[in-house]
């Protein structure tokens, strides 16, 4: 069996309607499922594809959110809509376990390669669109019976100009052709926003805060970036050429603007996100820990690892790799985290206007990770 470590094609599930997905992404964040929920879905889907004799190996995953509806009560402090549990045997009320739920409309993008015998002819090549579409349809049928971030998949609603059917496409080897294909693909995911990593912003925030307080930790910087920090804007210098009457205005009539100095105009929709797990203990042998989910694999106690992310419109991504998340494992460090190759650019795409970035209110609840 031949297994390629280089992605050969792209498998796309457009506009998946997910009902009651897990909105609590970590002990400290909420508002969108953790990226680890989608990498876990990737591995589970790969195992089921193997059972269905579909020779695909899934490498990375990208998430694009088109719509979300978190099940919370509005107000200054949002509270989750909770279900009423049935009474106990004696008729008393059982405890309410807080559950965060969210309805989603998302597009999932996977990079794949073929797992076939070395002597067999490859399938993921130009000209085999019919076979790839059959694989995509079968994968979509399998996915429809699975959970996505703890939520159930509903049938997609047909809409004019919207692609609903899963599809596959070969990734061109030529860089120019690949860029041209990418410009075509990313248009299909509008309007929507992709979740990308911004570990660089966390490092910048830490450097700024350490100038004021040298004892600032990475966790302090992450918490600082997770909120709005308003300060009175410095007053502009007086205009010496202005009439004397303007210099003697009543100070009570002057308004002092309040701004967040580290969140300037066009700074992006920055959010705190969990990006993996850090070990709290050594690995325990299989079957030695009681009540483990799987007694055939080693067990390790972990805690969440945090960083910063950003919601970016797909038309602002320069290539496919900026959209995708991959997993990294460091056994000696006890670190299991997700990585993304997004790097911001100052230039905007000339193909589409900035109007695609307006009016989208999505939140999720980051260069070394922060563990809590």
Q: Is 103 exposed, middle or buried (0-12, 13-18, 19+ CB in 10 A)?
A: middle
Phi-psi region for residue 124, left (φ > 0), alpha (ψ -120 to 50) or beta?
Answer: beta
Q: Which pairs count as long-range contacts for 329-334, CB under 8 Å and 24+ apart, including other chains?
A: 333/279, 334/278, 334/279, 334/300, 334/302
303 bridge partner residues: 278
What number is the average pLDDT over the span 194-210? 93
Mean pLDDT for all residues in the chain: 83
d(CA 10, CA 125): 12
d(CA 354, CA 47): 41
Q: Is 321 exposed, middle or buried (0-12, 13-18, 19+ CB in 10 A)?
A: middle
pLDDT exceeds 70 at position 346: no
For 111, residues 6+ apart whose C-beta sits below 8 A from its C-beta are 7, 9, 10, 11, 58, 59, 60, 171, 320, 324
Side-chain-side CA neighbours of 79 within 13 Å: the count stands at 4
Out of 196, 221, 245, a domain closes at 196
Same domain, 40 and 167: yes
Same domain, 172 and 281: no
Assign 3-class secondary structure to 284-322: ECCCCCCCCCCCCCCECCEEEEEEEEEEECHHHCCCHHH
Same domain, 267 and 127: no
For residue 203, being part of any structural domain is answered with: yes
Q: Which two tokens stand for residue 316?
A: 């602002």
For residue 366, being part of any structural domain is answered with: yes
pLDDT exceeds 80 at position 9: yes
Q: Which residues in 266-279 are b (16+ Cβ under 10 Å) and which e?
A: eeebbbbbbbbbbb
Same domain, 7 and 135: yes
Instruction: Quote the pLDDT of residue 252.
Output: 55
pLDDT exceeds 80 at position 151: yes
Question: Domain range spanning residue 300?
Answer: 199-231+256-371
370 bridge partner residues: 306
For residue 243, being part of any structural domain is answered with: no
Same domain, 205 and 136: no
For residue 271, being part of any structural domain is answered with: yes
Same domain, 7 and 29: yes
What number is the average pLDDT over the span 146-152? 93
pLDDT exceeds 50 at position 348: no
Widest distance between CA atoms in the chain: 90
For residue 249, being part of any structural domain is answered with: no
pLDDT exceeds 70 at position 228: yes
Between residues 351 and 71, the one the model is more confident about: 71
What number is the average pLDDT over the span 257-281? 88
**Cβ–Cβ under 8 Å, residues 324 and 62:** yes
Same domain, 277 and 189: no
Query: What confidence tier does 366 reach under pLDDT thresholds 50, 70, 90?
Result: very low
Same domain, 139 and 49: yes
**Cβ–Cβ under 8 Å, residues 369 and 36:** no
For residue 247, being part of any structural domain is answered with: no
Query: What confidence tier does 118 reach under pLDDT thresholds 50, 70, 90?
Result: low
**Cβ–Cβ under 8 Å, residues 194 and 359:** no
Query: What confidence tier does 244 reach under pLDDT thresholds 50, 70, 90?
Result: low
What number is the average pLDDT over the span 141-160? 89
Same domain, 14 and 151: yes
For residue 79, being part of any structural domain is answered with: no
Query: What confidence tier does 307 reach under pLDDT thresholds 50, 70, 90?
Result: very high
Query: What confidence tier does 42 reach under pLDDT thresholds 50, 70, 90?
Result: very high
For residue 305, being part of any structural domain is answered with: yes
Sign of CA dihedral 212, 218, 220, 223: positive
Same domain, 42 and 176: yes
Percent of the chain with pLDDT over 90: 53
The residue behind tokens 């579409």 is 133
Instruction: Quote the pLDDT of residue 58.
Output: 94
Q: Which two tokens stand for residue 130?
A: 């019919």
Same domain, 130 and 220: no
d(CA 174, CA 333): 38
111 bridge partner residues: 10, 60
Instruction: Quote the pLDDT of residue 243.
Output: 56
Out of 169, 196, 223, a domain closes at 196
Same domain, 141 and 213: no
Strand 325-330 versus strand 335-340 pairing type: antiparallel
Number of domains in the chain: 2
Query: Which pLDDT tens digit goes with each residue over 77-104?
Result: 888 888 777 777 777 777 777 788 999 9
């Amino acid at each position: 069996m031949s297994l390629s470590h280089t992605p050969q094609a792209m498998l796309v599930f457009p506009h998946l309607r997910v009902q009651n997905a897990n909105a609590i992404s970590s002990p400290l964040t909420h508002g969108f499922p953790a990226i680890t929920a989608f990498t876990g879905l990737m591995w589970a889907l790969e195992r089921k594809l193997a059972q269905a004799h579909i020779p695909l190996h899934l490498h990375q995953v990208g998430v694009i959110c088109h719509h979300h509806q978190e099940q919370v009560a509005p107000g200054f402090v949002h509270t989750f809509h909770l279900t009423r549990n049935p009474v106990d045997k004696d008729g008393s009320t059982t405890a309410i376990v807080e559950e965060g739920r969210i309805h989603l409309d998302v597009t999932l993008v996977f990079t794949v390669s073929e797992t076939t015998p070395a002597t067999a002819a490859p399938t993921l090549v130009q000209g085999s669109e019919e076979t790839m579409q059959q694989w995509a349809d079968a994968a979509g049928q399998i996915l429809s019976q699975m959970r996505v971030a703890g939520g159930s998949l509903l049938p997609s609603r047909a809409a004019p100009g919207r692609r609903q059917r899963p599809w596959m496409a070969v990734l061109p080897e030529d860089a120019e052709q690949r860029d041209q294909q990418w410009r075509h693909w990313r248009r299909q995911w509008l309007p929507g926003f992709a979740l990308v990593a911004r570990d660089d912003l966390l490092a910048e925030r830490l450097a700024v805060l350490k100038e004021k307080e040298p004892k600032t930790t990475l966790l302090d910087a992450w918490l600082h970036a997770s909120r709005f920090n308003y300060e009175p804007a410095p007053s502009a210098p007086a205009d010496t050429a202005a009439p004397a009457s303007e210099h003697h205005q009543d100070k009570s009539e002057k308004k002092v603007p309040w701004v967040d100095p580290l969140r300037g105009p066009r700074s992006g929709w920055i959010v705190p996100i969990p990006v993996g797990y850090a070990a709290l203990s050594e690995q325990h042998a299989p079957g030695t820990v009681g009540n483990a989910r799987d007694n055939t694999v080693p067990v390790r106690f972990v805690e969440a690892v945090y960083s910063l992310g950003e919601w970016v419109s797909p038309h602002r991504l320069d290539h496919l790799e900026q959209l995708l998340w991959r997993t990294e494992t460091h056994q000696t460090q006890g670190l299991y985290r997700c990585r993304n190759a997004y790097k911001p650019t100052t230039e905007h795409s000339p193909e589409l206007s900035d109007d695609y970035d307006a009016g989208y209110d999505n939140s999720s609840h980051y260069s070394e990770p922060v563990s809590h």
